[in-house]
Amino acid sequence: MGRLYEQLSLDERCEIARLRGSGSSIRQIAAALDRQPSSISRELKRNTGSGPRAGAYKPTYAQAQTAARRWSGARLERDEALREQVLTGLRRGWSPEQVSGRLRLEEGRPVIGCETIYRFIYAQLKRTNDGAWRFYLPRAKARRGRRGHKGGSPASFIQQRVGLAERPAEALTRDQPGHWEADFMLFSTYGQSVLVLHERTTRLTALVKTATRKAKPTAKTLGGLLEALPKRLKQSVTFDNGTEFAEHHSLGLATYFCDPHAPWQKGGVENAIGRIRRFLPRKTNLDDVSPARIIAVAQAYNHTPRQCLDFHTPAEAFSRVLHFERESTSRPSPG
């Protein structure tokens, strides 16, 4: 039976350097280390310096060279086809989780983990010193971690305000479609905003560029977005405590408000806005953004696979809900 070959350790390489420096022959070194002479000869020939350092065997250099020869690069560096699939998804605004999950859904098996994608992107940021790599990530963060947020609450100015604690359990668990959340995306230019309406179960999201954030026009815009929906898909809307939502009672459906200083309680729309920031950063001048562009951004978001939907898209999920709703209301009553 042939002998199982093991890589030389750093300690063995240090011993090779010491014995070689003292004038020992290759066979003497091999005998001292209980190695084959061919292994020692190959080690010295492969890892001996060149130029002024010719003939000098450096154990740390040899160890580093061995590691470099054995390393084949990150998976996305080695697999060009998979790398292009991943980067194509990221360019569309999908997160690494969404890219990973969608590939698993389409292939019927795990293809690549989201952590592998994150590490690849952050490795490129560090290796290339090119900040453009961060724009492959939904929130374009150069470093991983959470950021703190501060805010106020004029809750006492909102009449007929009902707290979130009274919202039905179906809305909290997302088991029943028709419960919505609404908020405004704000921009650097004062007065510019986009109204965002988000359905909690399917994650479908609508965007409307608005000329004002006054309460009555805001309620009218929200009413227009909800008007065409079946009644069962208009259960409730949840807001933060901004006075722009003070006319909530005119919508004709149940409305609920987050606790003061807790806008995170309407986490669905907060998350959606964070993702949409990739397409509409805060510094965007909405005067240069056409209504068609706003629609395209909404379509991109609604056609992005979501982990919470088993990597189906919000558009697919809402289409199924809407189809079921139409089927259930069009069935003939028993005669």
Q: Pick the residue with more confidence: 208 or 133?
A: 208
User: What DSSP letter does each residue of 233-294 carry, written as one string?
Assistant: G-SEEEE-S-GGGTTGGGGSSEEEEPPTT-GGGSHHHHHHHHHHTTTS-TT--GGG--HHHH
287 has a pLDDT exceeding 70: yes
Question: Considering only 91-95, 176-180, 311-315, 330-334, which range has the smallest mean pLDDT?
Answer: 330-334
The position carrying tokens 């189809």 is: 323
Distances from the Cα of 335 to the Cα of 24, 326, 330, 331, 332, angstroms: 105, 20, 15, 12, 8
Kindly tell me if the per-residue pLDDT of 26 is higher than 60: yes
- Tokens representing 181? 């959340």
Low-confidence winner among 47-56, 144-153, 226-235 (lowest mean pLDDT): 144-153
What CA–CA distance (Å, rounded) separates 39 from 45? 10
Domain ranges of the chain: 10-70, 75-136, 155-328
Single-letter amino acid code for the residue at 23 = G
User: In the structure, what pLDDT confidence band is assigned to residue 140 with cuts at 50, 70 and 90?
Assistant: confident
Residue 283 has pLDDT above 90, yes or no: yes
CB 269 within 8 A of CB 181: yes
pTM comes to 0.62
Average pLDDT rounded to a whole number, residues 22-49: 86
Rounded to the nearest integer, the mean pLDDT of the chain is 85
User: 221 or 123: whose pLDDT is higher?
Assistant: 221
Residue 51 pLDDT grade (very low, low, confident, very high; cuts 50, 70, 90): very low
Amino acid at 258: C
CATH 3.30.420.10 fits 155-328, yes or no: yes
State pLDDT tens for residues 85-138: 999 999 988 999 999 999 999 999 999 999 889 988 888 887 787 888 888 888
Residue 313 CA to residue 87 CA, distance in Å, equals: 19
Residue 68 has pLDDT above 80, yes or no: no
